[in-house]
Amino acid sequence: MAVVYVGIHKFRICIVLWALLITTSLDAQEQLHDIQQVASASDFNLRGELVNIAISPADPNLISFESIEGGNLHRLWWLDVNTKHLEQITPRSPDNDDVYWGAKADRDIDWAPVKINGKIWFLFVSSGLEGQENIYLGNTEDKQYLRLTSSNFVDHHPRWSPDGKYFVYVSSRRGSGDIYLVDDVEDLINRFERAIRQDPESREIVIEGLSSGEQHIRLTENPRMDTFPDWSPDGRYLVYQGLIRSGDMLHMDLFLLDLHNRSAEPINLTQNPQYDAIQPKWSYDQNNVAFYVSPAGYAGDAPSTVHLSYVEIRGDTATGEINSFVTKGTIDANIRRNNNTGPLWGPGSRSLLYVKGEGNYTPILMYNTTGGSSYDSQVIRESRFDIIHREIAGQVSSDGAMVAYLTYEDQDYRIYTARPGGGILSRRLHDVYVKPIERVYRFERQPGGFGIGGQAFTLFNQSSPSMTRVDFIKNFFIQYTMFPYIENERPYEFALRAGYSSMRPSYQSTGGGRQSFSYSLVDFKGVLSLPIDRLLTRTSIYAFAGLGMVVSHDNIAKPTFSRRFNLPFGFGLQYSITRSIDITGQVTLRNIFYLDKTEDAYFNVASRGLSLGILYGL
């Protein structure tokens, strides 16, 4: 074990040096700076909780959010960060501007990516006075709203296309939930503005033949539910979550829909009936889709456990057709979801920003997805335990990037903004520090890799004759990985292992007495590992079997055991601490055979042991 200990000691030194290196020379593009509080609920006498923060891509100084009072009164707001002007989005009563609609669902705001007719537009959902959730269109200048849908069912999750010419939304009018497309937004807005000029006093504008949704194009036909659509940056694809059945299990999978070939079947990106894949979000470079993962059973209620993951999308550069995709595995666990928007990509699609949920301690973390080194960084982390981070939003525009996040501190909801990239981490409002975080994907090993390790029996049990005791039995080994696990291509790992052990069994003489002696042995085993990451992160289960020879023994009572061999086999668990270091725990069964039986010994000795150890990859 001495060699392994030296390896661990060197590894700890590397960790410390790496943390110091990151702290002093972290790439400026992966930092947040200019952190400042821009508003709080108490500033505007807002009651209730604040949720669903979003930033307008057409003007990053405009931030929207939702307030909830008493659990059922929802209001939408937009805030001008520069002027501190707060405007209510939620439609008001046409009889009295001071009387708000008692809406139960004013939410799902989605800002237009560009200005249209010189105005900043947005889509949102309101249940209004009638109690039915419908889609509305509005802008930051006019006080009127265009009602786009009018049904007795639920319409929700509107999403603009990247160029602002189209939008999609989800409706349950013909099932539990399907995605619909509105394909001429410019004409729609022109008709809306003409209607405003004709009737400037109306608060709600209804265009004949439009709000019924009959002219809207139905894109999916799932008898269960399709929801949370998100556009690819080039506007060709939609990714969404769909509820499907696998055997007796209902679960959410992610699907891709090609709008250039609507007759083609949607591409299923995730196929795991044990987990729900929810709230997908395309990266800015179109190469990845991030999403949340939770145990199967998510059907609209907040899941109890949320992980963060992403899928690498690979397409034909000439045709734009997606031809393959690879799920990269769980990035982190216990995530606080962005309830409305899904995961947040950083500038250049190099990172994912998220809120970690660790009880009342909820830091904001940044995860580097480029894979350029063995370690990535937690770039902003609040050390104050009394700050509860709720969610984070962001936008990337031509003049830079902006993030905004909601907190609950000192019994008040507060909104902060910050800018990723360049500058120095601000300590004006928070104690911010950098800490290395490991990037580990279990089973991403290279062919031909060597490893060294050691194990020790903590329980030794022998039969023939019967004997049980706690005994630290040394076991060293060298492992050569012939066929490593390759994600989505080979779901196993096979290695050859050569080991050396020293054990102390006993034998029984013809007179009934028992004598113990020690012996050394070498063995050769095949080891087959299978991933169980979906059950236990970074973990595999393995089985082994082999053949060994006794090479020496302590000649107590002069036993004449010659030409001895043993058959070791068993199973175990292996957990990856890093790419190079694994912790192992295994159960070993071993039969020792004596071909030249003497009158002083039984024909064989069977031993069983539970061992713990470590494997260090070279």
Same domain, 115 and 260: no
What pLDDT is attached to residue 515?
Answer: 60
Give the whole-angstrom CA distance, residue 27 versus residue 303.
35
Model confidence at 391, in pLDDT bands (50, 70, 90)?
confident
253 within domain boundaries: yes
Same domain, 199 and 229: no
* β-strand partners of 418: 403
Task: Give the mean model confidence (pLDDT) for residues 402-414.
Answer: 89
CA contacts within 13 A on the Cβ side of 529: 30
What pLDDT is attached to residue 314?
Answer: 81
3 in Cβ contact with 613 (< 8 Å): no
pLDDT at 613 over 50: yes
Neighbours of 595 (CB within 10 A): 11
Same domain, 152 and 245: no
Same domain, 542 and 489: yes
What pLDDT is attached to residue 435?
Answer: 32
Same domain, 449 and 585: yes
Same domain, 304 and 325: yes
Same domain, 225 and 207: no
7 within domain boundaries: no
354 within domain boundaries: no
Segments in 297-361 forming alpha helices (H): none
What pLDDT is attached to residue 181?
Answer: 92
In a 3-state reduction of DSSP, which class is residue 29? helix
Q: What are the DSSP calls for 585-610, one per residue? A: EEEEEEEEEESS--TTS-SEEEEEEE
- 443-486 pLDDT, tens digit per residue, is 455 566 788 888 887 776 776 667 676 667 788 889 998 887 76
Same domain, 177 and 225: no
pLDDT at 552 over 50: yes
Phi, psi of 20, rounded to the nearest 5 degrees? -65, -40
- For 70, the token pair is 């008493």
577 within domain boundaries: yes
Query: Domain containing 519: what range?
Result: 442-617
Which of 164, 181, 216 is where one domain is finished?
Answer: 216
What pLDDT is attached to residue 615?
Answer: 87
Contacts of residue 38, defined as CB under 8 A and 6 or more positions apart, other chains included, come to: 63, 79, 81, 84, 404, 415, 416, 417
Least confident stretch, 373-382, 404-413, 478-487: 373-382
Model confidence at 604, in pLDDT bands (50, 70, 90)?
low
pLDDT at 204 over 90: no
Model confidence at 20, in pLDDT bands (50, 70, 90)?
very low
The DSSP output letter for 302 is P
Phi, psi of 16, rounded to the nearest 5 degrees? -65, -45
Contacts of residue 59, defined as CB under 8 A and 6 or more positions apart, other chains included, come to: 120
Q: Greater confidence, 192 or 518? A: 192
- 251-265 pLDDT, tens digit per residue, is 899 999 999 888 888
pLDDT at 599 over 50: no
- The number of distinct structural domains making up the chain is 3
Which of 216, 236, 264 is where one domain is finished?
Answer: 216
Q: Greater confidence, 160 or 549? A: 160
Least confident stretch, 107-111, 285-289, 348-352, 398-402: 398-402
- 211-249 pLDDT, tens digit per residue, is 544 568 889 987 888 999 999 999 999 999 998 887 777
Model confidence at 19, in pLDDT bands (50, 70, 90)?
very low
Q: Greater confidence, 535 or 616? A: 616
Give the whole-angstrom CA distance, residue 375 versus residue 583.
19
Same domain, 170 and 237: no
Same domain, 95 and 182: yes
pLDDT at 49 over 70: yes
pLDDT at 337 over 50: yes
Q: What are the DSSP calls for 98-156, one per residue? A: TSBP--S--EEEEE-SS-BTTB-EEEEEE-TTTT--EEEEEESS-S-EEE----SS-EE
pLDDT at 430 over 50: no
387 within domain boundaries: no
225 in Cβ contact with 278 (< 8 Å): no
What pLDDT is attached to residue 470?
Answer: 65
408 within domain boundaries: no
Same domain, 129 and 274: no
28 within domain boundaries: no
Identity of the highest mean pLDDT range in 21-35, 80-94, 95-109, 506-520: 80-94
**Which residue is associated with the tokens 């795991």?**
272
Same domain, 238 and 299: yes
**Which residue type occupies 580?**
S
- For 318, the token pair is 């000439």
Phi, psi of 185, rounded to the nearest 5 degrees? -70, -35
What pLDDT is attached to residue 514?
Answer: 58
Model confidence at 121, in pLDDT bands (50, 70, 90)?
very high
Task: Give the mean model confidence (pLDDT) for residues 387-407.
Answer: 81
Any idea what the CATH number is for the domain that residue 569 is in?
2.40.160.20
What pLDDT is attached to residue 546?
Answer: 93
Which of 342, 370, 391 is where one domain is finished?
Answer: 342
Give the whole-angstrom CA distance, residue 389 versus residue 409.
9
Contacts of residue 250, defined as CB under 8 A and 6 or more positions apart, other chains included, come to: 224, 243, 244, 296, 297, 299
Of all residues in the chain, the percent with pLDDT exceeding 70 is 69
Let me know how long the chain is: 618
What pLDDT is attached to residue 373?
Answer: 34
Q: How far is CA 473 from CA 181, 323, 504, 608, in A?
A: 68, 52, 8, 12
Any idea what the CATH number is for the domain that residue 282 is in?
2.120.10.30
- 297-328 pLDDT, tens digit per residue, is 655 555 667 888 888 888 777 777 887 788 77
The mean pLDDT of the chain is 75
